[in-house]
Amino acid sequence: MEREQAGKILDRFRAVVDMEIARALEKGLDIPLYDMIRYHLGLDRTGAGTPAPATGKRVRAALCCLSSEAVGGEAQAAAPAAAAVELIHSFTLLHDDVADGDATRRGRAAVWKRWGVAHAITAGDALFSLANLVAAKLTERGVPTAESLAVVEELNAAALAVCEGQQMDISYEGRADVSVDDYLAMVERKTAALMAAACGAGACVGGGSVESAAALREFGRQLGLGFQIRDDILGMWGGPSELGKPVGTDLKRNKRSLPILHALDAVGGKLAAQLAEGVTSDEEAAQIAARMQEIGSRAFCEGMARSFLARGCEALEHVNLQVGPREQLRVLASYLVERTQ
């Protein structure tokens, strides 16, 4: 039931956001660069989206629109900000695939795998530029100049934080001195910063108070932490058909996801040595994941994800928000942190 409700919430904003993105891509019909971008975004040349998962869920865009509604604004006015958030997120995913060597994204070949690394990097750069151009359209929707500039600044600050988090994530691979606090500091940048900015931008566009915007940012930040932990859980114990990409990658890359950090703390040097030696097969990765579940790594991660979800929802309790959008934010957050795909 919750999944169905969340799906309806996400679908409510998908068309308006995709149309905003399509407008930004209209002039590029004769340039191959834009075909790569449309492919990555799951859009065809008319701007219509293909069914999920090729398009992604447009989660951050929905958070932006809902946050605008929560403070009494309109989703339509927030559409440029929501589209900009989605384009920034897509830019980071495109470059992440290159950095991590992930050959698939949402069940099909990643851009770098289909067109090459150089083209993928260029397409990612273009997505970032498009995000700023789209955000600049806010004034055309009646958003005051000061608020429009504040949104652009917030989104760019979040994009920079994502880059910081990605660099931290890469630098943690194989290290023995990474703590859970280190992991959370990385996730706060890599994942939570953009979710917080999506909510903050929506509140700003909707004309919310300073207090309301701060509460919505905190909701987005806590949600982002829980969301990433759920991603780590699915990456360890999910399935390719659920994720659209292979599982076990974190083990093979000797990354420091939360499940791996818990397991390393629980069993010590034996697992560290095995990871350092190299996990090369799906079978070996599955065996390690099963052992990690036995020692409680999955339960630990699920408990932490739920605690962040509770904190996020609590942040919405102490400010004056529209009841309907606030409840939809809670439903969406609960689904995202408890999801199985």
Contact 70, 326 (CB under 8 A): yes
Structural domain boundaries enclosing 270:
2-334
* Residue 91 domain-assigned (yes or no): yes
Q: What is the CATH number of the domain that holds 112?
A: 1.10.600.10
Residue 54 lies in a domain: yes
* Mean pLDDT of the residues in the chain: 90
Distance (Å, whole) CA 261 – CA 259: 6
Whole-number pLDDT of residue 242: 46
The residue that leads in pLDDT, 137 or 240, is: 137
> Can you give the pTM of this predicted structure?
0.92
Residue 105 lies in a domain: yes
Q: Considering the domain boundaries, does residue 140 fall inside one?
A: yes
124 located within any domain:
yes
pLDDT surpasses 60 at 243: no
Predicted pLDDT at 246: 59
Residue 186 domain flag: yes
- The per-residue pLDDT for range 150-180, each reduced to its tens digit, is 999 999 999 999 999 999 999 998 888 999 9
Residue 185 lies in a domain: yes
Whether residue 51 is predicted with pLDDT greater than 90 in this model: the reply is no
Count of domains observed in the chain? 1
pLDDT tens digits along 107-119: 899 999 999 999 9
